Structure 1
Amino acid sequence: MKYFTQNWYREMQVYGFLTFPDSKEDWDESLNWKYEDGTSYIEILQAELEWRKDDLLTFLPASFHPYILDGSLKTEYPSKELRKMAEEWNENYQSRSHDLSKKYMEQFEEIKEKLPSQVLEIHTKSLHDGEVLSFSLTESTFTLIIAGTGVGWYGTNVKLTFSDVEKCLIPEQLEGSWWLYDEIYKTDTGFELHVLFDCPLSELMIQARELKIETLEK
């Protein structure tokens, strides 16, 4: 991936995590909430903070680090200083993310008329959140079966058949992973597709001449 990289996705998760209650009343109300097993709201926040600690330390400025290391980033009602720091970082992230998406779309607009029609369909009918049910690779063909019921465009499973494959880099654990984001490029002989997957976070790269997309009967 040149744009929507693994680090880009990890930072996006930090952005989604760095939110605070709108008011002290909302915070106090949340403190009374518990899971059915008795786990408290604070315990959930502590667990998620610990799980995200490495990424928080990687992508947030040093001024956030004391809050991360002592666990207070999300387990205490934020001070005005912390809230202001978060707002400024979030605004900066939003600006950078917008610029990145714009750059990718500019290059895509330049090549889309030269791409096979069904390659364009990956862009126009996103497979975001589709689970990989199975895949197979022969000498010149790569096939993916995606659970299309998890995405907005398909009501059934989807079969992607890449033919005249010139290069294919497959993650160690592809089956069971979830389609996140994709990038498409034109090559001299066809196209190049990059897909970012989650669970685990990984990347698939395929260079091929043609793509056939079929919906499968339930």
Structure 2
Amino acid sequence: MWHISKEAKEKFLMCNLLPIQEEDEHWEIALREAEEEGEDIFTRLKEELDEVKEQLLQTLPSRFIPYVKDGTLNKPTLPKHVRDDYVQWMREADKEFEQVLDAAYEQTKMAITYLPQAVQEVFQESLHDAVIQQIIRDDKSLLLIINTDGGFSTKSLIQLHFKNVTSEDTNHPIEVGQWFIYDELQKRDNSFAFRVLFECPESEWTITMESLDANYFYRPSLYTKLRDEEKLAETTFESYVSELNSEYRYWFITPDVSCAIQSLTPNIEFENGEIEFFGKEYVVTVGNEKFSYHLDEHNPIAFIYTDIYEDPYAHLSEPVLVEDLEEAALSDNIELQVRAWNTMYGNAKELSSIINNVLLKIQMKEENEMLLSVYTNHFYKEGILAENVIEKFRDLIEFE
């Protein structure tokens, strides 16, 4: 039995068609901000309701239907007992879907123990938001190459090799550019089955095979830093290569070819190949094959990978001295802030007094609400929050 399914996902989405403000205080903030920005909030709320009205009428329990029809379900005039009931109904749907995801995770966790170490390492991290970059088929196998640059895995390029495929089922053929949303791997008697829910276009894809293997590569940490600083476009290929760690192994991997890099200096050298630049184009030659790329479309820097992971932001894990912690956590220096919060997160019990002081002093804003939600819930579970702090962040804390 599959836990992940398009039906489970659709049910979850249908129960979250129309989020609403959950507390009077939230409405007060929303109304005040709309007034300050000159926004007609009630027109916007009506448009949001109208956009999903027909779906709501088919999905919601009957007790909420009158408030859809009179247009008050997402308005501040909705009676509090109805609002609380609606919010609780959505939370129960969220919890149900979380249980689906947890069950799929447990299935995957069990299945990978029967597969090679590389596969286990791939599935130890989420494939959510990974993108299909290349699909290579032969009679009995499928090689799926996925790019995780926009996802949650430290691995940047993953090759999943499905061997001796026995079946493949989908409501829409998989294609380059599709995003992984949810996935589940199962061990069968003499085979394995893998299911993915994709987006763009939306599809449910299931493949059964005798075995699964994997290979993966990382971006050099230099690439990540330049990308985050938006400096990739202005960095030349030569200067980029010159700054790479010459002690590491590298590969040049394009949609057409993959080859090991033998040497970085004095000029980059490929195993059984070369790269040549001609104005706005460059040509990669491997053996007897040549592949041309335009610099404006394919930055060659993006084709360099390594098998060594370097955390580009390891310095953010450096602890802040206890005597400087409170000031650092509340400072305007983003890097110092991150280090301070990381220090408190990892030492909650020892630093409980400082943590409570910081949380009492910090101002909750739209831009830091998600971050504060993560930290306050962690500290609450650690049992170190003072009562006045719990009261301040009551709307963010998930009480069990």
Offset, 1:61: 1.1
- 1:103-182 to 2 correspondence within 5 Å? 103-108=103-108, 110-154=110-154, 156-170=156-170, 171-172=172-173, 174-182=175-183
Counterpart in 2 of 1:97? 97
CA offsets 1:146-167 (integer angstroms, 9 cap, x no match): 2311112236333323222221
Contact 2:111–2:185 (Cα < 8 Å) also in 1:
no
Q: Helix, strand or coil for the counterpart of 1:195?
A: strand
- 1:66-85 to 2 correspondence within 5 Å? 66-85=66-85
Offset, 1:63: 1.6
Instruction: Give the count of matched residue pairs.
Output: 215
Using the alignment, how far apart are the partners of 1:11 and 1:33 within structure 2? 37
Using the alignment, how far apart are the partners of 1:33 and 1:190 within structure 2? 61
Contact 1:3–1:100 (Cα < 8 Å) also in 2:
yes
Aligned sequence identity (%) = 25
Counterpart in 2 of 1:191? 192
Counterpart in 1 of 2:31? 28
Offset, 1:124: 0.9
Q: Helix, strand or coil for the counterpart of 1:32?
A: helix
| Cα root mean square deviation, aligned | 3.2
Offset, 1:90: 2.9
Describe the shift of the 1:73–1:200 C-alpha distance in structure 2 as closer, same or farther (beyond 3 A).
farther
Describe the shift of the 1:180–1:98 C-alpha distance in structure 2 as closer, same or farther (beyond 3 A).
closer
Contact 2:129–2:152 (Cα < 8 Å) also in 1:
no
Describe the shift of the 1:104–1:177 C-alpha distance in structure 2 as closer, same or farther (beyond 3 A).
closer
Q: Helix, strand or coil for the counterpart of 2:74?
A: helix
2:158 counterpart letter in structure 1: V
CA offsets 1:61-113 (integer angstroms, 9 cap, x no match): 12222333444322554321321221331342244234434444554555442
Contact 2:182–2:196 (Cα < 8 Å) also in 1:
yes
Higher relative contact order (CA 8 A, sep 6+): 1
TM-score, length-scaled by structure 2: 0.46
Q: Helix, strand or coil for the counterpart of 2:180?
A: strand
TM-score, length-scaled by structure 1: 0.77
Using the alignment, how far apart are the partners of 1:175 and 1:70 within structure 2? 45
Counterpart in 2 of 1:210? 212
Using the alignment, how far apart are the partners of 1:104 and 1:173 within structure 2? 21
Using the alignment, how far apart are the partners of 1:33 and 1:118 within structure 2? 54
Which of the pair has more CA radius of gyration?
A: 2
Runs of 5+ consecutive residues of structure 2 not aligned to the other structure = 218-252, 254-302, 305-400
Using the alignment, how far apart are the partners of 2:158 and 2:60 within structure 1? 39
Contact 1:115–1:186 (Cα < 8 Å) also in 2:
no
Offset, 1:129: 1.1
Runs of 5+ consecutive residues of structure 1 not aligned to the other structure = none
Using the alignment, how far apart are the partners of 1:175 and 1:200 within structure 2? 10
